[in-house]
Amino acid sequence: MFLLLAPAFSYLSLEISFDKVIYMPGEVGRADVVITSPSDMPAFIQYYVNGEQFILSTRELKKGRNELPLYFKVPSEEGFYDFKVEVRGKDHGITKAEYFTVSSPDKGFLVDLEPDVLIVKERGTLTLKVANIGNYDDVFEILPPKYLSEFNYSYVEVPKREIVELNLSFDPDDLKGGSYDYNLKVCSLSLWRCEEVHSQVIVEREESEESEFEFLETLFGTPNSRIPWKVKVRNKSNFNKTYTFSLEQLNFSGTFESFKIVEVPPGEAEVSLDIYPNETGNFYFSYQISSNGVRVREGMLNLTIKTPFLSPAFLLSPKLGWIYFVFSLLVLSSIAFLLLRKKVTYPYAK
């Protein structure tokens, strides 16, 4: 015979509710706190009203449900206020936070946007609270920042004397790294009045995500000539960035610029490191590109140096070599023309 037992809870649980949805400024409010305890135990209880601490004497919690009313003075200014309760018992502890609303009846409605500063890399969420203080149901229009391509709310209906919370998703895929003002305008369609709230959104990007580079990894040239390694840089952030470009030769014979440091504003720029080979062959360099001290690209650069055919003068001077090369082409063209020319005859020729 098997006996099935329900698992006994072994932790504290905490619930908070208020005697009113919206308080008048300066009145006394009551938070109804319910603490569920796994056993009889003494507990230390404290609570915070908008950050102000209040400490209760140690209470004896009974196993099961414990009801505890907590009274507080409502702030004199309108707005949304945090109410946090902490309970600490032997080997147990729990913290929970809720909020209450303060407003005079003629206010109409209240809005709030949290957090004040949101830091995101991929996707984040802001919370918008809309409190309908009036005695009638109302519809509110929500106008997002213009730079957002997508927004998941346009209108929201809020019953009288109630509060609606909306989770606003923030997708920074189309935005550069930097700080953005997240300004929302909330308008009551019945009152023909709008309120503005704002947060600061900081979009963090990895250095490698904020820069793009275009360049060739294989270069060709001739001895004793200048061969530039050109790199097109795209700074996709909202700030100037310092880029470091470095080359390290592996088997090269000649001279070259080993590094260059440039500051690039938002946008595009081109950077060039010059290489001067003095002999033919296949040569290799290792390259590194850093952005604000963080390495973002590295790899191998291949350099092929050849002497143009029919032009041993390239070994002496590039300028003399090109003259000799053009002259050789002219001579060959003339010989071909003479060999292929056909004799022209005329009907009246004798």
Would you list the domain boundaries of the chain?
A: 13-102, 105-203, 207-305
Res 8: pLDDT: 43
pLDDT classification of 105: cutoffs 50, 70, 90: confident
CA atoms within 13 A on the CB side of 259: 8
pLDDT tens track for 62-87? 888 899 898 989 888 888 898 999 88
Domain pair 13-102 / 105-203, same fold: yes
pLDDT at 220 over 70: yes
Res 346: pLDDT: 45
pLDDT tens track for 248-283? 888 888 888 888 889 999 889 999 999 998 888 888
| Topology of domain 13-102, CATH | Immunoglobulin-like (2.60.40)
pLDDT classification of 2: cutoffs 50, 70, 90: very low
Res 318: pLDDT: 54
pLDDT at 219 over 60: yes
Q: How is residue 325 annotated by DSSP?
A: H
pLDDT > 70 in the chain, percent: 82
CA separation (Å) from 46 to 28, 81, 335?
A: 18, 17, 106
pLDDT at 4 over 80: no
pLDDT tens track for 83-100? 999 888 777 788 888 888
CA separation (Å) from 98 to 17, 46, 104, 131?
A: 8, 14, 21, 15
Res 36: pLDDT: 87
Res 160: pLDDT: 87
Nearest to 174 by CA among 203, 143, 194: 203
CATH class of 105-203: mainly beta
Residue 130 tokens, joined = 């809309």
| Topology of domain 207-305, CATH | Immunoglobulin-like (2.60.40)
Model-wide pTM > 0.85 = no
pLDDT tens track for 7-44? 444 578 889 899 988 899 888 999 999 988 888 888 88
